[in-house]
């Protein structure tokens, strides 16, 4: 089974926003606004078979999560 790729939008210490794949040592991209980072993160995640975009608040807490692609464990209900 393919492993889900996870991308995080987080605020950097320099005030910019980054998109970073889980486990990566460097950011995929860096942006001056959160909106731009979310837009790029969404496009990047949608191009994967199974992926997740985790958007963080400025203080680091998770704001929201989005899952893309075929979910092997969809929500029940």
Q: Is residue 25 part of a domain?
A: yes
Burial pattern 28-48, b for ≥16 Cβ within 10 A else e, equals eebbeebebbbebbbebbeeb
Please give the backbone phi and psi of residue 9, each rounded to the nearest 5 degrees, phi first: -100, 115
What does the alpha-carbon distance between residue 76 and residue 47 come to, in Å, rounded to a whole number? 25
**Domain assignment of residue 36, given as a range:** 5-69
Tell me what the mean pLDDT of segment 17-26 comes to: 97
pLDDT at 74 over 80: no
Say whether pLDDT at 21 is over 90. Answer: yes
Split into its structural domains, the chain has a count of 1
Residue 54 has pLDDT above 90, yes or no: yes
pLDDT average, residue stretch 18-22? 97
Q: Is residue 76 part of a domain?
A: no
Residue 75 falls within a domain, yes or no?
Answer: no
């Amino acid at each position: 089974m393919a492993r889900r790729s996870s991308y995080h939008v987080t605020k950097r210490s320099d005030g910019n926003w980054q998109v970073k794949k889980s486990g990566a040592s460097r950011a995929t991209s860096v942006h001056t606004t959160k909106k731009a980072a979310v837009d790029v993160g969404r496009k990047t995640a949608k191009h994967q078979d199974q992926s997740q975009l985790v958007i963080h608040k400025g203080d680091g807490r998770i704001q929201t999560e989005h899952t893309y692609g075929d979910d092997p464990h969809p929500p029940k209900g």
